[in-house]
Amino acid sequence: MSEFLPVLSYATFFLVFASIFATMALGLNLQWGYTGLFNVGVAGFVAVGAYASALLTTPPDAGPGAVRVVGLGLPIVVGWIGGTVAAGLVAAAVGFAALRLRHDYLAIATFGIAVVIQLVALNAQKLTGGPFGIQFIPKPFDAQLDGSLAFNALYLALTLAALGCVYAALQRLAASPWGRVLRAIREDETAAEALGKRAFAFRLQSFAIGGAIMGFGGALYAHFVGYIAPEDFLPILTFQIWTMLIVGGAGSNRGAIAGTVVVWAIWTIAGNGLRELIPAADQARAASLQIVLVGVLLAAMLLWRPQGLLGPRPSKSPSA
C-alpha cells in the first residue's frame, strides 16, 4: 500500500495542474475557438489573476528589510473573485483598445501587454516583491495539511469543481443566443452586422470573459503553490495553453479539457524522461528539448488533424 502513496500523491498533483490549465484553456477557447480572437498574451492575464488574488489575501512582508509593503490578508474566496475580476478588467481595457483595429493588431497588443505585466511584476518591488515574488500565499484548508496528499486531494476536488462550473457555464453560453451571435460574427462579420449585431461589443465581451477565466486559473494556481514569481508567467505558459487548445480542438470545450490532459501528460512525462536520460550537466538543455517536443506535437497536429482531437470539423463552404 505505502509504495502507491507517492504515485497517488503525484497523480493528484498532476491532476490539480491539469485542471487549472484546463480552466485557462477554456478561457482561450472562448476567445479563439468561439470568437476567433488571437490572444498571444494568455500568460499576462493569468499573471493578473494570480497577483491580484495573492495581493488581496497575503499580508505584506513582515520584519526589517521587508520588500513587499502591500497586501490585504482577506479571505481566499475574495482573492479568487478579485483575481478573476481584475483579469477581466485588464482584458476589457486591452480589448477596447485593440479590437477595433485589424485582427493582427490584437496579437501584437496582447503579446505586448503580457510582456508589460511581466515587467511590472518584476520591477514594482513594493507591490509584487519583484523577482522574489510573493511568498506565503495562504492556502485553503487546514494549515497542517500543507503539502500532503490530503491537501492535494482536497485542492483537486476544488479545482475540478471550478473547472466543472466554468465548463458548464461556457457550454450554456455557447448554446445561448449570445453564443449564436458569437458564432455568426466569427463566420461572417459583415453579414452579422447587416443583421444588426454589433461585432465589436460581442468580441469585447467574449475577450473580457475569456481573460477573466484565465485570471481565475491564475488565482487557483497561486493558492495551490503558495508562491508566485514573474518567471511563472513567461510566454512559454501562453505557448502551453495554446498547444493544449489546438491539440484538443479549438471550438470544443471538451476538446480544450482533453487537449490539456494530453499535452500536460506529454509535457511532464517528457520532462521526467529527459531528466533521466540526459546527464546532469545538460539539464538546462533538457528543458528546451521538452519545448521542442511539444512544439513538434503541435506542428504534427496542425498538419494531420487541424481540428484537434475533439474540435468541430472545419467547415469549408463551397464557393458560390
Which residue from 67, 193, 234, 278 is in contact with other proteins, where contact means CB under 8 A?
A: 193
Which residue type, as a one-letter code, is found at position 26? L
Give the ranges where the chain is alpha helix by DSSP (H): 5-28, 42-57, 76-98, 103-123, 125-128, 149-175, 177-187, 189-194, 199-225, 235-248, 253-277, 283-304
Q: Which stretch binds other proteins (CB under 8 A): 37-45, 73-81, 92-100, 197-205?
A: 197-205
- Listed in sequence order, the residues at least 6 apart from 282 whose beta carbon sits closer than 8 Å to its beta carbon are none
Query: What grid cell was written down for 295?
Result: 512544439
Could you tell me the smallest distance in angstroms from the CB atom of residue 102 to other proteins?
Answer: 17
Q: Which stretch binds other proteins (CB under 8 A): 33-41, 84-92, 287-295, 308-316?
A: 308-316
Alpha-carbon torsion (224, 228, 231, 237), positive or negative = positive
Cβ atoms of 175 and 34 within 8 Å: the answer is: no
Cβ atoms of 31 and 251 within 8 Å: the answer is: no
Nearer to other proteins, 91 or 261 (CB): 91
191 binds other proteins (CB under 8 A): yes
306 binds other proteins (CB under 8 A): no
Instruction: Show the binding pattern over residues 159-188: x = contacts other proteins (CB under 8 A), - = does not.
Output: -------------xx--xxx-xx-xx--xx
Q: Rounded distance, CA 22 to CA 71, Å?
A: 29
Could you tell me the smallest distance in angstroms from the CB atom of residue 209 to other proteins?
Answer: 7
96 binds other proteins (CB under 8 A): no
192 binds other proteins (CB under 8 A): yes
Residues that bind other proteins (CB under 8 A): 172-173, 176-178, 180-181, 183-184, 187-188, 190-199, 205, 209, 312, 315-318, 320
